[in-house]
A = this chain, B = another copy of it.
Amino acid sequence: MIRIGIFGYGNLGKGVECAVAKNPDMELVGVFTRRDPASVAVKTPGVKVYREEALQDMTDEIDVLVLCGGSATDLPQQTPKYASLYNVVDSFDTHARIPEHFANVDAAAKAAGKTCVISCGWDPGMFSLNRLYANCILPDGKDYTFWGKGVSQGHSDAVRRIDGVKDCRQYTIPVEEAMQAVREGRQPELTTRQKHVRECFVVAEEGADLARIESEIKNMPNYFADYDTTVHFITEEEMARDHSGLPHGGSVIRTGVTGFENEHTHVVEYKLTLDSNPEFTGSVIAAYARAVYRMNQEGMTGCKTVFDIAPAYLSNFSGEELRAHLL
């Protein structure tokens, strides 16, 4: 059994817990939190909740520690720190800071003989992998990534910070005509506005100026100004009834040409349709936790990404079994 610890018990931590329960070769040893452990109720029977500090003394009881904190401030500090004690997996997704994060984690992990994977999930993660494979196969081509339909937590949070907004759910929606043009191999040049639209469901405070809120949303730089955005004002009851899920997904598409006259076009598409973004992300992380555990046993230490890990390490089946049943 691979003994898993989870640090951070928000949506992602709960998603990892679900995933561990689906893998018969894994067991959840404990959930670690910066909150009062008594305030945290986990779903897996018999699993204890510990304060973060307990991680200093549990290195003999945990094979892989999954870090479920945020990329802005938690992971840059936590992942290098715990890479010196555990094999760890995180889902760091601040693209611009990946080189620095990788270097910090790599140094800590190598010094301690541990194995780590950063930026694990579906984007970055499975989408990155599919970009890489398709780029290597079709060097003369063009990449497209479409997200959604799905809930963007960052955009929902941004709207919630507007004065007069009690709650918001923001859906990112790919533009069907743009995807169609890409899938036909036409390699269109697409602006930000042509690729995705944004739809907001907003619960406003009583008496708030709805026209001002709508205008503030639509003109918010970076988040909404470059998109066509629709705003719907709804009640708290409608929010709870119709928008409680966290669906997401999207497509990575590469189209490219082969032949001495570039006469043949090929389209490679990897598409995800996910009822629960955190549970799918947690499922990817669980598979890479297995890889990290096995690579560490083979002496392959340091920081890795999905690019550095041979697919067979993700599976609990042997090479013979994989060749017989999946090749």
Point out residues on A near B: beta carbons under 8 Å. Answer: 15, 18-19, 21-24, 43, 95, 98-99, 102, 119, 124, 126, 128-133, 135-140, 183, 185, 258-260, 263-276, 279-280, 282-284, 287, 290, 305-312, 314-315, 319-320, 322-324, 326-327
Which of B18, B263, B310 is A258 in contact with, Cβ under 8 Å?
B18
Cα–Cα, bound, A322→B309 (Å): 14
Extra pairs beyond A126-B137, A128-B326, A305-B322 (4, CB < 8 Å): A129-B133, A132-B314, A138-B283, A305-B323
Residues on B with C-beta less than 8 A from A24 are 139
B310:A19 contact, CB within 8 angstroms: no
Residues on B with C-beta less than 8 A from A327 are 95, 98, 119, 124, 128, 305-307
Chain B residue at smallest Cβ distance from A285 = B137
Cα–Cα, bound, A309→B290 (Å): 17
Cα–Cα, bound, A128→B275 (Å): 25
Residues on B with C-beta less than 8 A from A129 are 133, 311
A98:B259 contact, CB within 8 angstroms: no
B280:A258 contact, CB within 8 angstroms: yes
Chain B residue at smallest Cβ distance from A92 = B327
Chain B residue at smallest Cβ distance from A140 = B22
B279:A259 contact, CB within 8 angstroms: yes
Known A-B contacts A132-B312, A326-B132; the reply to A279 vs B307 at CB < 8 A is no
Cα–Cα, bound, A306→B129 (Å): 14
Closest 4 CB pairs of A and B: A264-B275, A136-B314, A264-B276, A258-B279
Q: Closest Cβ of chain B: how far from A308's Cβ, in Å?
A: 5
Chain B residue at smallest Cβ distance from A310 = B310
Chain B residue at smallest Cβ distance from A307 = B312
Cα–Cα, bound, A214→B119 (Å): 56
A133:B311 contact, CB within 8 angstroms: yes
